[in-house]
């Protein structure tokens, strides 16, 4: 599948669903980069644009795609439901991106674009989400052009090894996440803290993995936004439910097992010696602050090496997101 076919499938599959009733919609732009943690290489840059809608309690059918996704969730008492789509691009590079020759013992260059649909259900103690996605990895993702242009703009060295990137291939992904409240308590008048457990899983030719984790939140009226945080890249919710000008803090720790990773194991124009590191360890810390007209969030993410021969066991990146309602 090339970029023209990808755009055609996107138009026929996802875009007609946007004609659904969306009187109460929200959007988010997210940008991720490793510059603030003082490193380069591995996951080095990402961006996601997400649109979603609140589904009214008496609305049984949303659109054909959302109706299909809703059948793959367990039945639950629901306070809120969201459906939407997002477009994302992510870039991975070796640590020494100024090296013009193949680096068989380093992570290969890889770029990926993806269009996905999500469906979410929430109540005060239990939440579920699932995603269906199609994408492209390789030259047609436009990642080489994007990274080179950004480096030229900010005066950074030009990445020299993109002609050795993972070759073009279509990707198909399905993901599921579930979260259950464990504890919640009130302190300092209006503020609360809570702890929850979650499971996040992906299946597809881009990546397949299974993860479990614990999440901690601190903020006002947490029951209204339980389950709104997600481990899935680019995912968001309607953060207008937060009380204005009162921040929310969060942290999570996660343990998992990765079965396959196309950004490492994909077809290359040279013989690679790199193998996937199956054990996954991740942690993140963040703050969300709702202003009067939009909500801003900033977070730090740390994760263990993605390939077994990586000399650096830990990597990290920062994330900035802006969320608002129509």
Determine, yes or no, domain membership for 223: yes
Q: Which helix (H) or strand (E) holds 242?
A: none
The two counts, helices (H) then strands (E), for the chain are: 4, 12
d(CA 111, CA 97): 14
Domain assignment present for 20: no
CA–CA gap between residue 174 and residue 207 (Å, rounded):
10
- As for how many domains the chain has, the answer is 1
State the pLDDT at residue 15: 57
Q: Which two tokens stand for residue 159?
A: 């990445």
Rounded CA-CA distance 76/65 in Å is 20
* 116/204 Cα distance (integer angstroms): 13
Answer whether 0.75 is exceeded by the pTM.
yes
pLDDT of the residue at 14: 57
Residue 59 forms part of a structural domain: yes
Nearest to 42 by CA among 201, 287, 204, 277: 277
* Domain, as residue range, for 231: 3-14+25-325
The pLDDT value recorded for residue 37 is: 58
Residue 94 in any domain: the answer is yes
Least Cα distance to 231 among 135, 303, 167 occurs for 303
The answer to whether 91 and 147 have CB atoms below 8 angstroms apart is yes
Asked if the structure places residue 283 within a domain, the reply is yes
Structural contact between residues 213 and 254, judged by C-beta atoms closer than 8 angstroms: yes
Among 181, 195, 175, which Cα is nearest to 120's? 175
CATH of the domain at 163: 2.40.128.140
Beta pairing partners, 308: none
- Please give the structure tokens belonging to residue 237: 């919710």
**Calpha distance 109→107 (Å, rounded):** 7
Burial 288-319 (b: 16+ CB within 10 A, else e): bbbeeeebebebebebebbbeebeeeebbbbb
Dist CA 106 CA 282 (whole Å): 21
Residues 255 and 278: beta-carbon distance below 8 Å: no
State the Cα–Cα distance between residues 16 and 20, nearest whole angstrom: 8
Whole-angstrom distance, CA of residue 110 vs CA of residue 55: 37
Query: Is 264 contained in some domain?
Result: yes
Kindly give the confidence (pLDDT) of every residue in the chain, 326 residues in length, as a single tens digit, with 9 standing for 90 and above: 666 566 656 555 555 555 555 557 899 999 998 766 555 568 888 999 999 998 877 777 778 888 899 999 988 888 889 999 999 999 999 988 889 999 999 999 999 999 999 999 999 999 999 999 999 999 999 999 988 888 888 778 888 899 999 999 999 999 999 999 999 998 877 789 999 999 999 999 999 999 999 999 999 999 999 999 999 998 888 888 888 888 999 999 999 999 999 999 999 999 999 999 999 999 999 999 999 999 999 999 999 999 999 989 999 999 999 999 86
In a domain, residue 19? The reply is no
Spatial neighbors of 251 by CB under 8 A, at least 6 apart, are 215, 216, 283, 284, 285, 286
Q: How far apart are the first and last CA of the chain?
A: 34
Alpha-carbon distance 43 to 314, whole Å? 12
- Sign, CA dihedral 60-64-68-69, equals negative
Residue 103 lies in a domain: yes
Asked if 155 and 187 count as a contact pair (C-beta separation under 8 A), the reply is no
């Amino acid at each position: 599948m090339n970029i023209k076919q990808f755009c055609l499938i996107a138009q026929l599959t996802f875009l007609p669903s946007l004609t659904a009733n969306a009187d109460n919609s929200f959007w988010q732009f997210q940008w991720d980069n490793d510059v603030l943690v003082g490193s380069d290489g591995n996951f080095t840059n990402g961006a996601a644009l997400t649109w979603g809608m609140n589904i009214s309690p008496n609305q049984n059918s949303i659109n054909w795609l959302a109706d299909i996704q809703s059948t793959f969730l367990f039945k639950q008492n629901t306070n809120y439901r969201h459906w939407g789509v997002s477009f994302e691009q992510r870039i991975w590079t070796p640590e020494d991106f100024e090296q013009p020759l193949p680096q068989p013992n380093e992570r290969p260059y890889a770029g990926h674009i993806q269009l996905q649909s999500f469906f979410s259900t929430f109540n005060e103690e239990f939440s579920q989400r699932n995603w269906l996605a199609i994408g492209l990895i390789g030259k047609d993702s436009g990642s080489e052009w994007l990274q080179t242009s950004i480096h030229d703009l900010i005066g950074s060295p030009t990445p020299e090894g993109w002609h050795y990137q993972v070759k073009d291939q279509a990707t198909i992904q399905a993901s599921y996440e579930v979260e259950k409240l464990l504890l919640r308590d009130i302190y300092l008048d209006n503020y609360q803290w809570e702890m929850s457990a979650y499971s996040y899983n992906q299946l597809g030719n881009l990546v397949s993995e299974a993860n479990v984790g614990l999440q901690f939140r601190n903020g006002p009226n947490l029951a209204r936004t339980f389950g709104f945080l997600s481990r899935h890249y680019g995912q968001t919710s309607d953060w207008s439910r937060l009380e204005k000008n009162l921040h929310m803090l969060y942290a999570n720790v996660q343990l998992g097992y990765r079965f396959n990773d196309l950004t490492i194991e994909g077809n290359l124009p040279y013989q690679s010696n790199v193998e996937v590191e199956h054990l996954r360890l991740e942690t993140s810390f963040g703050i969300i602050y709702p202003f009067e007209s939009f909500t801003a969030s900033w977070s730090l993410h740390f994760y263990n090496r993605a390939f077994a021969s990586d000399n650096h066991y830990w990597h990290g990146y920062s994330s900035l997101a802006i969320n608002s309602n129509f």
